[in-house]
């Protein structure tokens, strides 16, 4: 799976250390930002499966950035915070699905959270594909239903005959029922 990761860290050294851990596990598609403002700008240009925020940042604590990303992107978010504030931050953001990890960071805990966050992100992507498939199917059914109404109104067909007509036209022309329905609607309206 193609995992694109953004690390947001005020400290270049900490950001590099996080990237080193990720690269050990073959996660190499990593971008960096050093502040909340820069991270927001980067996310406008690219999409990420995972955003890792090493709090605090130069311009903010990091929890509002994490919440912004959870609510405005499809990214999973891990927030790394000092242990004395991690519990307080967790109580504020975990309801949104943000993973909070205390510092000092333990590699096993960190990678467990990364894998879990990427798993959630992948699951979310698959659910979006399913939703898109059902939305397309719904739109096709709506189009066919509208075409049947047009045939009933303009040609005096029964609902059953209109349905049969659309199906037969689709089979005979090797077109989808939605395409036949679209042509019917264009012809009469």
Q: How confident is the model at residue 49 (pLDDT cuts 50, 70, 90)?
A: very high
End-to-end C-alpha distance for the chain, whole angstroms: 46
The reported pLDDT for the residue numbered 2 is 55
Q: How confident is the model at residue 142 (pLDDT cuts 50, 70, 90)?
A: very high
Contact 8, 62 (CB under 8 A): yes
Entry pTM: 0.76
**pLDDT tens profile 17-41:** 999 999 999 899 999 999 999 999 9
Mean pLDDT of the chain: 93
DSSP codes of every residue in 71-116: HHSS-EEEEEEEHHHHHHHHHHHGGGT-EEEEESP-HHHHHHHHHH
Contact 110, 100 (CB under 8 A): no
Query: What is the chain's length?
Result: 189
Of 57-61, 64-68, 88-92, 148-152, where does mean pLDDT reach its minimum?
Answer: 88-92
Asked whether residue 80 is domain-assigned, the answer is yes
**pLDDT tens profile 62-80:** 999 999 999 999 899 999 9
Asked whether residue 125 is domain-assigned, the answer is no
DSSP state of 57: -
Evaluate if residue 58 carries a pLDDT over 70. yes
CATH code at 41?
Answer: 3.40.50.2300
Look at strands 50-54 and 76-82 and give their pairing: parallel
Distance CA 102, CA 83 (A): 5
Domain of residue 162 covers 132-188
CATH code at 142?
Answer: 1.10.10.10
Asked if residue 17 and residue 67 are part of one domain, the reply reads yes
Quote the tokens at residue 32.
């960096």
Distance CA 84, CA 106 (A): 16
Asked if residue 159 and residue 67 are part of one domain, the reply reads no
Evaluate if residue 101 carries a pLDDT over 50. yes
Asked if residue 153 and residue 100 are part of one domain, the reply reads no
Asked if residue 98 and residue 26 are part of one domain, the reply reads yes
Distance CA 167, CA 181 (A): 10
């Amino acid at each position: 799976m193609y995992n694109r990761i953004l690390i947001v860290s005020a400290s270049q050294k900490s950001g590099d250390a996080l990237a080193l851990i990720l690269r050990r596990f073959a996660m190499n598609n990593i971008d960096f930002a050093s502040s909340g403002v820069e991270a927001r700008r980067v996310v406008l240009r690219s999409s990420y499966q995972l955003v890792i925020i090493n709090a605090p940042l130069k311009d903010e604590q990091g929890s509002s950035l994490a919440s912004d990303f959870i609510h405005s992107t499809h990214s999973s978010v891990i927030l790394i915070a000092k242990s004395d504030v991690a519990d307080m931050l967790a109580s504020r953001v975990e309801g949104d699905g943000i993973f909070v990890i205390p510092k000092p960071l333990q590699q096993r805990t960190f990678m467990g959270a990364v894998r879990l966050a990427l798993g959630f992100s992948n699951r979310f992507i698959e659910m979006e594909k399913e939703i898109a498939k059902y939305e397309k199917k719904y739109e096709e059914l709506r189009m066919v239903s509208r075409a049947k109404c047009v045939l009933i109104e303009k040609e005096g067909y029964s609902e059953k005959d209109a349905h049969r007509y659309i199906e037969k036209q689709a089979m005979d022309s090797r077109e989808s029922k939605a395409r036949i329905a679209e042509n019917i609607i264009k012809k009469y309206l």
